[in-house]
Amino acid sequence: MKWISSHMIFGFNQKSVGLWIWLSLVAALLVPVTATAQTRSDTGRHKAKPPAVTADDSVSSVKDVKSGAAERRWHIGISGGVQGGSDLFRVETIDGFPVPWDPDTGGGFQSSRFTAALDRNFSFGLYMTRDLGSVWSVRADLGYSRMDVAAEALTGQTGAVFLFDRMDVLNLGLGVEVRLVRAPSYPFLNASMLVSHLGPVRAEDLEQTNMGGRLGLGYFHSSHEVWGLRAEARMSWTGFSIGNYVPQSELSDQPALDYDTEDHLIFFEFLIGIQANIL
């Protein structure tokens, strides 16, 4: 019985050792397979970091184009519109009798009193600006208009308007312009010193050159890297002197006059133009 028990125990131990050897071999084979499966499985625990996103070349090229457009600091433009003005003088005969006014000095009608004023007419202009930064610019402009001088005269019991004269008005401005919004299209303000020359066609004694100032408000619409549209309203003030000018009648005896003259002129302008960004 003892031998059998020992033999059985010995046999059991041999089987156990063999079993453990087989289990070890199987475990050794399964470990690499399991590790490989875990590596291939998409659990999200060991995902590689995504590559750094680089800026798109097209986006950078757009930025380069915009920065290149911003470097165009010189601008020129042409504009056209309507220009009007204020009164020049007022004349009335003291005795109240109507007289025929001499056409050579701006007459050609008969009245006891009349007021001469600058009437509205077409205006043409050129300008150039140089950007000092993203907000401020220096601006020089030249404007011309042949303006009618209208005589608002009393004829009998009613009034009438006659063409008194025509004046070539040449305005030269130099000043600054400021953008109110930092954007490709923007509203703006400008202020300029003004030199104004008046060249009458008939009343030559009224020819003169005066100093003044100008304020303007407008809007610039950028439609292209190079081209754009501008709309602008401006008001100008200049000096004015009647000098030795006195309207003459066609009568041999000149009537006594009540003569009231202005010492300044006001111009109103509404302009639309095209601007080119050149440099």
Q: What are the phi and psi torsion angles at 110 (to 5°)?
A: -120, 125
Q: CA-CA distance, 20 to 22, in Å (whole number)?
A: 5
Residue whose token pair is 């680089």: 54
**Residue 172 has what pLDDT?**
97
Span 228-273, pLDDT tens digits: 999 999 999 999 999 889 999 999 888 999 999 999 999 999 999 9
Q: Which helix H or strand E contains 35, and what residues bound it?
A: helix 2-40
Residue 51 confidence (pLDDT): 56
Contact between 54 and 220 under an 8 Å Cβ cutoff? The reply is no
Instruction: Kindly give the parts of the chain with pLDDT less than 70.
Output: 1-70
DSSP 210: E
Residue in 214, 266, 277 with CA at minimum distance from that of residue 85: 266
Give the angle subtended at the CA of 70 by the CAs of 68 and 72, to the nearest 5°: 85
What is the reported pTM? 0.71
Query: Which tokens in the block code for residue 16?
Result: 């156990």
Instruction: For residue 132, give every residue at least 6 positions away whose Cβ sits within 8 Å of its Cβ, in sequence order, or none.
Output: 138
Instruction: Read off the tokens for 83.
Output: 């220009």
